Amino acid sequence: MRLAGKKALITGAARGIGLGCAKLMADHGCDVVITDIDVAEADRVAQQVSSHPAIELDVTSKLAWSAAIERAGDLMNGVNVLVNNAGIIIPGTVESLDEAGWDHTMNVDLKSVYLGCQAALPVLSRNAPASIINIASISSMIASANFAAYNAAKAGVHMLTKSVALHAARAYTDVRCNSVHPAFVDTDMVDQVTKTDDREVNRSKLARQIPLGRIATVDDVAWAVVYLASNESSFMTGSELKLDGGISTM
């Protein structure tokens, strides 16, 4: 089992990429704790993939993070993998997006990663080898006029990952931090960036932008997370995995 002995806390795990990561990690022997702000849905997922109850987690709250890390550590007898997956997207240009939308995006997409890493590092260090995996986006590297806040937040995650990796390498032993950068992924979130209600038409239009001719599946991302959580990536830190079907090469 690739993840035997791994104990992971996953944020935003009630649906989408987080759910896919939880399922695949559990399939490969990882002990997982499901967290989400939607605790009812998180509980439903936890019953499928975990032997532990879900934890309600508002990723924008420092106190909530401290409680979640402590609780997950109690449930699993330690934590040695953190997957910072929770995220939102609020479309808008620098002129059309209001301040509330900007602040909410920054809090959920960027501040949450800062708070999660800060809360988890001491626990991870006591359970090393340990890995932090931050779900960023190819939007951290490729800009869009209509994703002003999302571009900025995910670019922040990209650089924060590198800063955390350097800090962890100096302050602790065998604690790594890397980021994953998907392009369009077949989840409900992708519907927020399309202009029609026809899911197949939307996905076909997005796929035509990708050199490989399709959008990513949730499993495409989850396999990358399994790799980064495993000892197979033990010499990898401060790096980014681009899962973009080649779009960033254009």
Residues designated catalytic: 150
Positive or negative, the Cα torsion across 94, 250, 137, 123? negative
Question: How long a stretch of residues is the chain?
Answer: 250
134 near 179, Cβ under 8 Å? yes
* DSSP codes, 127-154: T-SEEEEEE--GGGTS--TTBHHHHHHH
Number of Cα atoms under 13 Å in the Cβ half of residue 250: 10
Of 152, 133, 143, nearest to 238 (Cα)?
133
Placement of tokens 């955390």 in the chain: 164
